[in-house]
Structure 1
Amino acid sequence: MAKWHETLSKHGNLFSSDSISGTSPPSVFVGSYNYPKVFVGPMVPPAHGDTSILDSPERWKGKSLEDIVNFRLNLVRGIQKISVNKTEGRYIENLQEVVMSSQPIDSDLIFEKSTSSHISLDGESAPFGPTGIIHSAKFSGTTSEKSIEKTFYDKDMKAQDAVLNLYNSGIEISKIQKCFSIGMLGQKRKLVPTKWSITATDDIISKSLVDEILDYSIIDSCKIFSYEHLGNVFVIVLFPHRWIYEMIEAWYSNGILGFGSDYEDARGIDHPPAVAGAYFAAKLGVLEYLAKNKIQSGVVILREIRPEYAIPVGVWQVREGVREAMKQKSVLADNFDDAILLASNKMSISKSEWLANGNILKLIHQKTLSDFF
């Protein structure tokens, strides 16, 4: 971990100034500290041109942890303190235009004083570099994404419907989250901290996909998919069962193995999951596969977080890791027991440990009333 702190402090000192001129990817960030009065503002690198890669997790496949941290530390975050209920006024309207833009936007920020090089890491959102309180902000050259613009002006549409509408028109999830966060969707609009908007967006979309797949027929054999990136190993087991879903995570802390897990059936989950935003991000990745193939199944997702994942870069990597796993060739197993064995062989944690720390066997063995008629 020390090496990362070194890297971070080295990069953290890269930018210190009382103004910045650059091209925003486009990107905005809403903090959660001090809610309901939060810090809101754009993120801008000290560079001009096509900077979109700096804030498009969907394009980070194959990049190393260091690449991603470097992308992110280039983003300087401007902030002003604003009440979450204030979704109008010049400053917020400017930021909404930034988010609506279909391409990077030239931005000029003047800060009240030089930026502080404190690096932000919260596990849910991707990290970013220095922060400065904005004295004034100018943005030029926005070109609106038509489907976002239409949804923005539709004040009668519920937030859930707005999210689904954008998702179904092919807008990237990272973009929808920003619209949600900066108070652009729904009837009662307010600013939503970035890390909450990430989870809310994944949750809304995956709920709607569950409703869709409940009508499809159940698969007839067990399939195992896997993918590894950024020190995370994902193994997804699909098995013949109506929709039930469990995610189990394992990680090493000072050589001691820790576990977290949560699960649901068709009724969904009624509490914040123990594995936080990763739960909804992973669920979305696997449901897209089921919906696309018009099938239903039971699902177990195993995630091993290896020590190489030394710096959290956000739950986007869970969603993209699972999406990527579902594109790989699957391995077939004769039954659930064999499937979990094959899955655990891809990791450094045994089948019995995964099963002991999850609830999937109980879920599978629960008889429902319909089984008796």
Structure 2
Amino acid sequence: MRLEEFIEGFERDESIERRRLAAEKSYAITDHLERVERQFEEALQGEALFGSSAPEIFVGRSNYPDVSTGLLSPVDRESDAAGYATSGDWYRRGFGIDDVLQRRTGLLNSTRSTSVDVTDVWDGFVGVQREVAVADHPVDVEVGLDRRPEFELSVDDVRTPTGPRARATDATLAENPHVPRPVEKTLEDDDWRAEGAMTYLYRRGFDVYDINTILSAGALGQGRSRRLVPTRWSITAVDDTVGEYLRGTLRNAASVDEVQVWYNEYMANE
């Protein structure tokens, strides 16, 4: 219990309170954003950014079927690009909110508007984006930008934090991406429905985050129906499909003849 609760008529000294709050605050994120801006300046070559792109993309949902699509690239050229891709490994490694925030805000989102119809599109910016999405490791890319990025931290209660963003004029692969054989199989089969392909990849050990990225890139489903899928929608589709598969595996499992209570918590999710 605080002292002021014992003293009737106690008035808090506002200047002392402000100093206390300032002392308790962490300015690590502002230092991080300043560092990101410096790293971007070092990575920028004229009006182009060259470096590894994390095996992750972003597809917006506004104005569907004409959407904003983005390549996510670490602005720190010396860092491990694979470590920036969202994955279940973050939980296994015990990452906290600060770790996630620094990784998400350290990614440059190079965006362009495009139609979701990408049945046979494997060239241009969207083609590079799809190649990055199906690769099993970060791919070196060169991205042309038409303006300097906006260094603004965007945070809300739905979307993951985002780092700097800029409109892309073009993108070029600097190396041939390696595509895992199971993904090649789903790409080659034009008659395979997306639900079956997602379950197949999950059973082959693919993380749900990887499947989400592949689905977003329009690389799953029957050939004539392949479309870019907004990231938020693809997350729901993958969760529902994998959840249905897992529920099916429990039907023949041995019964539990006692009451059990399981609890877990991670980054305020219970």
TM above 0.5: yes
Name structure 2 gaps, 5 residues minimum.
1-21
Q: What per-residue deviation string (whole Å, max 9, x for no partner) do you get for residues 204-226 of structure 1?
A: 11112222323334311111222
Secondary structure of the residue that 1:133 maps to in structure 2? strand
2:268 to 201, 212, 231: 231
1:119 to 129, 141, 153: 153
How has the CA–CA distance of structure 1 residues 122 and 83 changed in structure 2, closer, same or farther, with 3 Å as cutoff? farther
The question of 1:78 aligning with 2:101 is answered: no
- Tell me the equivalent position of 2:162: 128
Task: Return the letter of the residue paired with 2:161.
Answer: P
Task: Return the letter of the residue paired with 1:20.
Answer: L
How has the CA–CA distance of structure 1 residues 51 and 111 changed in structure 2, closer, same or farther, with 3 Å as cutoff? same
- Tell me the equivalent position of 1:55: 85
Secondary structure of the residue that 2:51 maps to in structure 1? strand
- Tell me the equivalent position of 2:206: 171
Task: Return the letter of the residue paired with 1:11.
Answer: L
Q: What per-residue deviation string (whole Å, max 9, x for no partner) do you get for residues 255-313 of structure 1?
A: xxxxxxxxxxxxxxxxxxxxxxxxxxxxxxxxxxxxxxxxxxxxxxxxxxxxxxxxxxx
State the Cα distance separating 1:179 from its structure 2 match.
0.6
The question of 1:146 aligning with 2:181 is answered: yes
Percent identity, aligned pairs only, is: 28
Which fold has the larger relative contact order, with Cα–Cα distance below 8 Å and residues 6 or more apart in sequence? 2
Aligned residue pairs: how many? Answer: 232
- Tell me the equivalent position of 1:37: 66
Q: C-alpha distance in 1, partners of 2:49/2:27?
A: 25
8 Å Cα contact 2:53-2:140 kept in structure 1: yes
State the Cα RMSD in Å: 2.5
The question of 1:218 aligning with 2:255 is answered: yes
State the Cα distance separating 1:192 from its structure 2 match.
0.8
Deviates more, 1:186-195 or 1:41-50: 41-50
Q: C-alpha distance in 2, partners of 1:4/1:123?
A: 21
8 Å Cα contact 1:109-1:135 kept in structure 2: yes
Q: What per-residue deviation string (whole Å, max 9, x for no partner) do you get for residues 87-130 of structure 1?
A: 43313222221112111111211111111223344555532211
Max Rg structure? 2
How has the CA–CA distance of structure 1 residues 205 and 80 changed in structure 2, closer, same or farther, with 3 Å as cutoff? same
Q: C-alpha distance in 2, partners of 1:4/1:179?
A: 37
- Tell me the equivalent position of 1:157: 192
Secondary structure of the residue that 2:263 maps to in structure 1? strand
How has the CA–CA distance of structure 1 residues 113 and 153 changed in structure 2, closer, same or farther, with 3 Å as cutoff? same
The question of 1:22 aligning with 2:54 is answered: no
Task: Return the letter of the residue paired with 2:260.
Answer: K
Name structure 1 gaps, 5 residues minimum.
235-373
Q: What per-residue deviation string (whole Å, max 9, x for no partner) do you get for residues 122-145 of structure 1?
A: 555532211111112122231111
Q: C-alpha distance in 2, partners of 1:165/1:181?
A: 17
- Tell me the equivalent position of 2:16: none
8 Å Cα contact 2:105-2:163 kept in structure 1: yes
Secondary structure of the residue that 2:185 maps to in structure 1? helix
8 Å Cα contact 1:73-1:128 kept in structure 2: yes
- Tell me the equivalent position of 1:102: 136
8 Å Cα contact 2:87-2:207 kept in structure 1: no
8 Å Cα contact 2:211-2:238 kept in structure 1: yes
- Tell me the equivalent position of 1:307: none
TM-score by length of 2: 0.77
Q: C-alpha distance in 2, partners of 1:85/1:95?
A: 14
How has the CA–CA distance of structure 1 residues 106 and 184 changed in structure 2, closer, same or farther, with 3 Å as cutoff? same
Q: Which one has a larger percent strand, Structure 1 or Structure 2?
A: 1
8 Å Cα contact 1:27-1:43 kept in structure 2: yes
How has the CA–CA distance of structure 1 residues 11 and 97 changed in structure 2, closer, same or farther, with 3 Å as cutoff? same
Task: List aligned pairs for 1:1-373, cutoff 5 A.
Answer: 7=29, 11=33, 14=37, 15=40, 18-46=47-75, 47-48=77-78, 50-61=80-91, 62-89=94-121, 90=123, 91-121=125-155, 123-141=157-175, 142-187=177-222, 188-232=225-269, 234=270
Q: C-alpha distance in 2, partners of 1:77/1:5?
A: 24
Secondary structure of the residue that 2:261 maps to in structure 1? strand
Q: C-alpha distance in 2, partners of 1:178/1:152?
A: 14
